[in-house]
C-alpha cells in the first residue's frame, strides 16, 4: 500500500518568475527531503521509508514546486491502528511540520516565538505542551502545541534543517517563502522573519564555563541609552558587545554627570565567560566596573 500527501512551496520576489537558479533551488529541495526524513525518525516510524517527489509548477512572480510525500507501508493496518485511523504518516508529518492547512505546526510555532526565550513549560493533561514567553509591556504570552510539534522543536537535526529551506531568502531578489494548497497561501515567511527559524546554540553543559577577570582599555563604539542593552566596544581589532554591570556609572550617566565624545576610552574591569556550543566557543562579556573614563587630549603635543 502507498500513502501520499501533497503540498506546494513557492519562493517569491522580483528575481523569480517561473524560473530559479538551480544553485539556490537544489539545496533547498534537498533540505526538504532531509527535513521530512528527520521528522519521520522523530514522530513517525523509523522502520519505514519516506520519499519526497518533486513536480514543478509555474506561476507569474514566483517559482512554485509541488512536493509529494510517498510512504510505502507494509504493515499498514498495524501502523494506522497505532497513530489513529484518520491520519496517515505523510499527513502526520505535514501537519506537525506546519505544511498543511488549518494546522499549527513547527513553522507556525517558530514564527510565534520569534526567537524569544521560553520562560516556563507545562505538560497538560491532554498531552499538549504549554509554553510561556515574555510578551509586550511585561506581560506573558502562552502558546499551546501538540506533543509531536514539541518533539520536532526540541530535535537538533530538525531545527538545523529548517533554515536550509529558507536559505534562498538570503538572495536580494527573493523576498518570501510560501506554503500553498490549491493556490491558496497557508503560510508565508518573509525575508525579515527568516532569523526566527535559526536554531539556538546548544551549550555543552558537561563542561564548566571558563570565567576570567582582568583590567582592559576599550574604545567606545556604541553607547545604548536604554536600560539592559549592551555596549559595543573594541579592544584593539577585537570588537564585541558587553553588558554594563557598573550601576554607579549608569547612575552618573542618568544624572548627566558623564558625557561622551568621539575617541573616548574606558578603563574597565572586564569579565569574560566562555562556553562550548554546537557552533564552537562562545564568549560573553561584562563590564563589571568602570575604573576611569578617559577622553582624548584636545591638542597634539609638540614634543
Shared domain for 40 and 159, answered yes or no, is: yes
pLDDT at 265 over 80: yes
The answer to whether residue 300 sits within a structural domain is: no
Where a domain ends, among 197, 231, 254?
197
Residue 162's nearest CA partner among 50, 36, 22 is: 36
The backbone torsions φ and ψ at residue 166, rounded to the nearest 5 degrees and listed phi first, read -100, 0
Tell me, yes or no, whether 216 lies in a domain: yes
pLDDT for residue 187 is more than 80: yes
**68 contacts 52 by C-beta, under 8 angstroms:** yes
Residues 273 and 154 both lie in one domain: no
pLDDT of residue 83 exceeding 60, the answer is no
Mean pLDDT of the chain: 85
On whether both 166 and 257 belong to a single domain, the answer is no
Q: Are residues 219 and 176 in the same domain?
A: no
Residue 142 is assigned to a structural domain of this protein = yes
Angle at 282 between CA 260 and CA 38, to 5 degrees: 135
- Give kind and range of the element (H or E) at residue 27: helix 22-43
Q: Look at residue 75 in the predicted model and tell me its pLDDT.
A: 47
Contact 265, 288 (CB under 8 A): no
When pLDDT is cut at 50, 70 and 90, the band that residue 301 belongs to is low
- Listed residues 135, 166, 197: the one ending a domain: 197
Determine, yes or no, domain membership for 52: yes
Residue 164 · residue 27 · CB < 8 Å: yes
**Would residue 189 count as lying in a domain?**
yes
Same domain for 129 and 6: yes
Kindly provide the residue ranges of all beta strands, DSSP E only, lying in the chain, ordered along the sequence.
Answer: 2-12, 49-59, 62-72, 118-123, 129-134, 140-145, 176-181, 184-190, 210-222, 231-235, 238-244, 265-277, 280-294
Q: Are 40 and 186 in a shared domain? A: yes
In a domain, 51, yes or no: yes
191 vs 86 pLDDT, higher one: 191
299: confidence class by pLDDT, cuts 50, 70, 90: low
The per-residue pLDDT for range 204-223, each reduced to its tens digit, is: 777 888 999 999 999 999 99
* Whole-number pLDDT of residue 108: 95
My answer on whether 168 and 246 are in the same domain is: no
User: Containing H/E element for 247?
Assistant: helix 247-254
Q: Identify the domain containing residue 85 by its residue range.
A: 2-197
Say whether pLDDT at 60 is over 80: no
Q: How far apart are CA 159 and CA 166, in angstroms?
A: 12
Residues 136-182 pLDDT 10s: 777 888 999 999 999 999 999 999 999 999 999 999 889 999 998 87
Which residue in 127, 123, 143 sits closest to 135, CA to CA?
Answer: 143
Q: What is the DSSP string of 125-192?
A: TTS-EEEEEE-GGG-EEEEEE-HHHHHHHH-HHHHHHHHHHTGGGGSTT--EEEEEETTEEEEEEEGG
Q: Is residue 240's pLDDT more than 60?
A: yes
pLDDT of residue 73: 53
Query: Do 27 and 53 lie in a common domain?
Result: yes
Q: Is residue 193 part of a domain?
A: yes
Q: Which residue has 609638540 as its cell numbers?
A: 302
Q: What are the cell numbers at 4?
A: 501520499
Question: What's the rounded Cα separation, in Å, for the pair 5 and 67?
Answer: 8
Q: What is the pLDDT of residue 228?
A: 81
* Domain C-terminal end among 136, 171, 197: 197
Q: Does 203 fall in a domain?
A: no
Hey, what's the torsion of the CAs at 243, 208, 195, 230, to 10 degrees? 0
Q: Are 204 and 37 in contact (CB under 8 A)?
A: no
Distance from C-alpha of 210 to C-alpha of 282, rounded to nearest angstrom = 10
Looking at the structure, tell me whether residues 65 and 104 fall in a common domain. yes
CATH number at residue 232: 2.40.50.140
Number of domains into which the chain is organized? 2
Q: For the segment 18-57, what is each residue's pLDDT rounded down to a tens digit?
A: 778 888 888 998 999 999 999 999 998 887 778 888 876 5
User: How confident is the model over 262-277, as a mean pLDDT?
Assistant: 92
Query: Are 232 and 183 in the same domain?
Result: no
Alpha carbon 91 to its chain's center = 25
Amino acid at each position: 500500500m502507498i500513502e501520499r500527501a501533497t503540498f506546494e512551496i513557492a519562493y517569491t520576489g522580483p528575481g523569480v518568475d517561473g524560473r530559479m537558479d538551480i544553485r539556490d533551488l537544489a539545496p533547498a529541495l534537498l533540505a526538504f527531503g532531509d527535513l521530512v526524513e528527520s521528522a519521520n525518525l522523530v514522530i513517525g516510524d523509523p522502520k519505514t521509508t519516506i520519499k519526497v517527489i518533486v513536480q514543478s509548477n509555474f506561476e507569474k512572480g514566483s517559482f512554485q514546486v509541488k512536493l509529494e510525500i510517498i510512504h510505502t507501508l507494509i504493515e499498514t493496518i498495524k501502523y494506522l491502528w497505532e497513530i489513529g485511523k484518520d491520519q496517515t504518516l505523510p499527513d502526520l508529518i505535514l501537519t506537525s511540520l506546519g505544511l498543511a492547512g488549518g494546522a499549527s505546526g513547527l513553522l507556525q510555532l517558530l514564527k510565534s516565538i520569534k526567537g524569544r526565550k521560553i520562560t516556563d513549560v507545562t505538560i497538560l493533561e491532554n498531552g499538549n505542551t504549554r509554553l510561556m514567553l515574555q510578551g509586550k509591556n511585561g506581560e506573558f504570552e502562552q502558546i499551546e502545541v501538540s506533543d509531536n510539534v514539541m518533539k520536532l522543536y526540541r530535535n537538533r537535526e530538525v531545527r538545523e534543517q529548517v533554515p536550509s529551506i529558507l536559505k534562498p531568502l538570503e538572495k536580494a531578489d527573493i523576498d518570501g517563502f510560501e506554503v500553498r494548497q490549491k493556490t491558496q497561501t497557508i503560510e508565508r515567511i518573509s525575508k525579515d522573519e527568516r532569523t526566527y527559524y535559526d536554531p539556538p546554540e546548544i551549550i555543552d553543559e558537561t563542561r564548566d564555563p571558563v570565567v576570567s577577570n582582568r583590567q582592559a582599555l576599550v574604545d567606545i563604539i556604541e553607547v545604548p541609552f536604554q536600560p539592559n542593552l549592551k555596549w559595543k566596544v573594541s579592544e584593539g581589532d577585537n570588537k564585541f558587545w558587553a553588558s554594563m554591570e557598573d550601576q554607579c556609572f549608569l547612575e552618573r550617566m542618568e544624572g548627566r554627570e558623564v558625557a561622551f565624545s568621539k575617541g573616548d576610552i574606558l578603563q574597565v574591569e572586564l569579565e569574560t565567560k566562555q562556553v562550548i556550543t554546537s557552533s564552537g566557543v562562545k564568549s560573553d562579556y561584562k563590564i563589571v566596573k568602570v575604573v576611569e573614563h578617559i577622553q582624548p587630549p584636545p591638542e597634539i603635543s609638540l614634543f
